[in-house]
Amino acid sequence: MGAPLTAGPACLIFSAMSEYIDQIETGESVGLVEKKFFTFGADEPLVLESGRRLGPVTLAYETCGTLNADRTNAILVCHALTGDSHVAGFYDGNDPKPGWWDLMVGPGKPIDTDKYFVICSNVIGGCMGSTGPSSENPETGRPYGASFPVVTIGDMVRAQRRLVDSFGIDTLLAVVGGSVGGMQVLEWSVRYPHRVHAAIPLATTTKHSAQAIAFNEVARQAIMADPKWNRGDYYESGRPEHGLAVARMVGHITYLSDESMRHKFDRRLQDRVELSFDFEADFQVESYLRYQGNKFVDRFDANSFLYLTKAADYFNLENHYGDGSLVAAFSRASCRYLVVSFTSDWLYPTYQSKTMVKAMKKNSLDVSFCEIEAPWGHDAFLLPNTRLSDLLSGFLNKICLHCRIGDVA
């Protein structure tokens, strides 16, 4: 592929917008898309890394673009912790907003649906159409609840591989994702090294720090301390809404940055000119977090939040594939990498990306790395950013040239 996209000092650019903006112009859309479902494992259940079996397994998924005749232009997009398969476009004309990465996926966009066939699926353990704790347990006819087996990032990727196989795709042009989606990208690159031409992990890590695990544990305890959680059996008695809202508040703080919170809120009061001297939401940041927590309750399942955060905590690439050595883990890989971090991301800070890049280079892998200056914290990969857009489109074009796929002029 030639020289890396970046060499020497990190690439710098300031993000112009933030996640606080509800309506973002995303350019031309892929238009109407459909949530589809793929089911497997009815006769031969998926054997999980825990040793337990899960079947049948259903994955909710979405596709954009057209798969070419030789099935070589497919890109798998992996969503973050509480994301879903709705990556771009609209389900119908009444949708208030498009898919979660409509900024990047669509005609003429970095992941150009005029060139690429894009697949995005909801992970197992989730609650957006894929098999998870809120799904019916075929043995009981009731929701699994806490009897659902613990799943790992590796289990999620193995399920995705079954979906990819169903399209007759032998090798993915690229796998791309941020945060927990980035963990799935890294897992794909070492678990199935000959089925991935390129891997693009964004704002992610090869293993959670003690601090990241600690935040997840506080969030889980908030859910389990809610009396309505009822050991995970709440689907008929009422959801643990307060616990889940608090869990989301805790998580949301880790997605932001000190600078972004000062910029948006500082210590400004909410709908008042004086302190109330009670425990209502005096400050704008308090009101914002309560709003985010309550909004999250309307769309997400508390048990899924427990399972997905535990899967993220269990992820440890160097232990699983390298007996404690990240260099040994990446010795399994053969694809080209584009690794991107963000200056204000304190959940998965840049030093973690640099650690994985160093291990990749020790294996003489083709690696491009860029640290993007963006003040909005961990969620920066979801926001408009010219530098990120240019990096993705340029890198994918070079992969196409290397693989001799289509006209990428």
Which sequence positions are flagged as catalytic? 179, 345, 378
The total of other beta-carbon atoms located within 10 Å of residue 221's CB is 14
- The verdict on whether residue 248 carries a ligand-binding annotation is yes
User: 101: buried, middle or exposed (CB in 10 Å: 19+, 13-18, 0-12)?
Assistant: buried
Sheet of 336-342: strands edge to edge?
36-40, 57-64, 117-121, 74-78, 174-178, 198-202, 336-342, 367-372
Where b means 16+ CB within 10 Å and e means fewer, 173-203 reads bbbbbbbbbbbbbbbbbbbbeebbbbbbbbb
Half-sphere exposure of 11 (CA within 13 A, CB side): 22
Place of tokens 């793929």: 38
The alpha-helical segments, DSSP class H, found in 315-382 are: 317-322, 326-330, 350-362
Distance, in Å, from the CA atom of 202 to the CA atom of 176, rounded to the nearest integer, reads: 8
Contact yes or no for 350/360 (Cβ under 8 A): no
Whether residue 34 contacts residue 91, with contact meaning beta carbons closer than 8 Å, is answered with yes
22 labelled as ligand-binding?
no
Longest dimension (CA), the chain: 68
Show binding-site residues. 248, 379
Show binding-site residues for substrate. 248, 379
